[in-house]
Amino acid sequence: MVDYTLHCFLESGNSFKPALMLQLCQADWQAQWVDFFKGEHRSPEYLAQNAMGEVPMLIDHTEDDLVVNQSGVMLYHLAGKTKQFSPENTAEEREVMRWILFDNHKLTGAIAIYRFLNKFMDKGETPEAVFMQGRMIQAIKVLNRHLEQNDWAATNRPTIADISMMGYLTWPDHFNVDWDDYRNVKAWLERMSNLPHYATPEDLLPTKPAA
Ligand SMILES: N[C@@H](CCC(=O)N[C@@H](CS)C(=O)NCC(=O)O)C(=O)O
C-alpha cells in the first residue's frame, strides 16, 4: 500500500499542484484517474468524499485514509508532513498563505476558466472569454512584477506557494500567453523546472486510458 493516492487527471493544473509536491518530495504515492469530462466528480460516490465535487482529492493512507480536499490544503498538509517547501515561522506562513490564496482566486482562478473556454470549448472571443482573459493578464502581471525583486514567491527559497502558482503555467499555449512577454515569470519557471526531481504534468498525471 502506498502512502498517498491522488485522484486527478492530466488536463487539471489543480491536480498538478499536489502531484508536483509529491514528486519533489519523492513521496510514496499513486495517481487515480478521474473521468472528469464524463462528470465522475459529480457522482454520488465522489461527492460522498468531496462535497465540493472538485478534482484533485488526496487520500492520506498513513492517517487512516484521511481525505484532503483543495490543492492549497493538500500542499499545507504535505509540507507539514514532509517538512519540505514549508514556511518556517509565522511571517513566512502569512506570505505562503497570501500567495496561495492569490493563486486560487486570481491566477489559477482566471487561467483555468479562460483556458477551459479557449482550449476545451473553443469559445473564441466571447465576452466571457475576453473578460476572463483580462483578469488572467492582470494576475500574471502581478506575479511578473513580484518576481522582479524576488527569486521565489513567498520566501528566499521555493515553497508550496511556488508549487501552487505553477499549476497551469506549463501550458502557456493553452491560454495564449508567451512567457517572453513576462521575463520574470519565465526565469522563475526555469528555476522551478530545475528543482531536483522536477517532472511535468504529462510525466505525473494520468489521462484517459486507451479504449
Ligand atoms: N480551489 C480548488 C479548485 C479545484 C477545481 O476547480 N478543480 C476543477 C478541475 S481542475 C474542478 O473540479 N472543477 C469542477 C467544478 O468546478 O465543478 C483546488 O485548488 O483544489
Q: How high is the pLDDT of residue 87?
A: 98
Q: How high is the pLDDT of residue 208?
A: 85
Cβ-based neighbour number of residue 168 at 10 Å: 24
Q: How high is the pLDDT of residue 124?
A: 77
Q: How high is the pLDDT of residue 123?
A: 72
Enumerate the H helices of 166-200 as residue ranges. Answer: 183-193
Q: How high is the pLDDT of residue 125?
A: 87
pLDDT tens digits along 142-169: 999 999 999 999 999 999 999 999 999 9
Beta bridge partners of 7: 32, 57
Cβ proximity of 50 and 67 under 8 Å: yes
Q: How high is the pLDDT of residue 115?
A: 96
Does domain 90-193 correspond to CATH entry 1.20.1050.10?
Answer: yes
Phi/psi region, residue 197 (left: phi>0; alpha: psi -120 to 50; beta: rest), is left
Looking at domain 4-85+198-204, which of 3.60.20.10, 3.30.2020.30, 3.30.750.24, 3.40.30.10 is its CATH number?
A: 3.40.30.10
87 preceded by cis ω (within 30°)?
A: no
Residue 158 to residue 86: CA distance in whole angstroms: 9
Going from the Cα of 111 to the center of ligand 1, the distance in angstroms, rounded, reads 12
pLDDT under 70: residue ranges of the chain: none
Ligand 1: residues whose CB is within 6 Å? 12, 14, 41, 53-56, 70-72, 104
Q: How high is the pLDDT of residue 148?
A: 98
Cβ proximity of 163 and 130 under 8 Å: no
Going from the Cα of 50 to the center of ligand 1, the distance in angstroms, rounded, reads 11
Q: For the chain, what are the domain ranges?
A: 4-85+198-204, 90-193
Q: How high is the pLDDT of residue 37?
A: 93
